[in-house]
Structure 1
Amino acid sequence: MITCKYCGQELKFVGEYKDLPYFNCSFCEIIFPLEETGVDRKRKMSVPNYYDDSYYVPTRELLKRDTISLYHVLKDVRKAWYDVKTALENLKVYQKEQESSLPKPQESDNDLIKNLKREFIDLSKRRFSIENIILERTGYLPEKITEEFLNEIVEKGRKASNQPMFVYIK
């Protein structure tokens, strides 16, 4: 039985458009294409089978990803951001130490710093974009994303997704 992915009600076939069947939920007042429906009052799995961990993509692409994948991506972006930040800080300390003992920095050193600064700015903006998407969806941002945190939300997502939508009256 084809059911609504939100309320669990059986859906009525309304027709086809461009060879795709569409179904209506009279309770939610939404028409769904077949791929967005549920089956036998089971919830859609909220946990993806795999995670696309690439973060060098436009924000529009990030908006299409599920929240659990975004948590994984945010963990990676935060690590890359921190690594670049640390490298920049270390280079500044190194430059100050070298100013008194060596001649002016070479052009290649300046290029390296410029490239790292550009990368830092880019990673900062990517981090902000991902954090704000998650914040819009969940209402909060975790301070730190650990493997324990990721495993916990995956387990909770699987457990919630496996609960069928039956209305019981005792």
Structure 2
Amino acid sequence: MITCKYCGQELRFVGEKDNEHYFNCSFCEIIFPLSETSVERKRKMSVPEYYDESFYVPTKKLLERDTISLYHLLKDVRATWYSIKSLLEKLKAMDSENSLPKPSEVDDDTVKNLKREFIDLSKRKFAIENIILERTGYLPPKITEDFLSQIVEQGREASNKPMFVYIK
């Protein structure tokens, strides 16, 4: 039985377009393509099998990713962002102490590129943080492996609960 991924109600076939079957949920008032439905009132798995590690994508692509993948991406982008930030701070401190050798054109370009990369990563970090904040209402200050393990486990447990209405 094909069921709604949100409420668990059995769906009614409404037609086919471009080789895709569509189903209607009269409770949710939504028409779904077959790929967006559930079977036998089982929930869709909220935990991806893998996540795409690339954060160098447009924000529109980030919006298409699931929240758990975004947490992983945020952990990665924060680590890269922090590394570049630390390097720029060290270079600035060395420059103010005059302990840097006379800058060459190559060194100057390297610093400019690092600054551009830092600005780009800052914006990517903000975009991922704001998507997560918009979806969950919460932004963790630090994302650890323990935090990621917990949300993955909680997601798996919740996804395995079927949607049956019981009256006692």
TM over 0.5: yes
Among 157, 160, 168, which residue is 1:159 paired with? 157
Q: How far is 1:19 from its partner? A: 1.1
The structural deviation recorded for 1:132 is 0.4
Q: Distance in 2 between matches of 1:105 and 1:28?
A: 64
Any idea what SS the aligned residue of 2:14 has? strand
Paired residue type of 2:145: E
Give the superposition deviation at 1:105.
Answer: 2.2
Question: What SS is found at the alignment partner of 2:15?
Answer: strand
Partner SS, residue 140 of structure 1: coil
**Corresponding residue for residue 48 of structure 1:** 48
Aligned mates of 2:166, 2:96 — CA distance in 1: 72
Whole-angstrom distance in 2 between the partners of 1:109 and 1:96: 16
- Map Cα deviations across residues 115-155 of structure 1 (whole Å, 9 max, x no partner): 11000000000000000000000001000000000000000
Partner of residue 15, structure 1: 15
| Equivalence for 1:67 | 67
Q: What secondary structure is seen at the aligned counterpart in 1 of 2:91?
A: helix
Separation in 1 of the partners of 2:31 and 2:104? 64
With the length of structure 1 as denominator, give the TM-score of the two structures: 0.96
- Tell me which amino acid in the other structure corresponds to 2:87: A
Matches within 5 A, 1:1-40: 1-40=1-40
Aligned residue type for 2:149 = N
Q: Distance in 1 between matches of 2:29 and 2:138?
A: 30
Deviation at 1:96, TM superposition (A): 2.3
2:134 aligns with 136
Secondary structure at 2:48 match in 1 = coil
State the 4+ residue runs in structure 1 displaced beyond 3 angstroms. Answer: none
Identity of aligned residues (%): 73
Aligned to 1:120: 118
Q: Which amino acid aligns with 1:14?
A: V
Deviation at residue 97 of structure 1 after TM alignment: 2.6
Deviation track 1:75-126 (CA, whole Å, cap 9, x = no partner) reads: 0000000000000011111222336x86x42222211111110000000000
- Counterpart residue type for residue 159 of structure 1: E
CA distance in 2, matches of 1:90, 1:121: 17
Answering whether residue 70 of structure 2 is matched by residue 78 of structure 1, we say no
Q: Distance in 2 between matches of 1:85 and 1:151?
A: 27
Once residues 30 and 103 of structure 2 are traced to their aligned partners in structure 1, the CA distance between those partners, rounded to angstroms, is 64
Report the TM-score when normalising by structure 2. 0.97
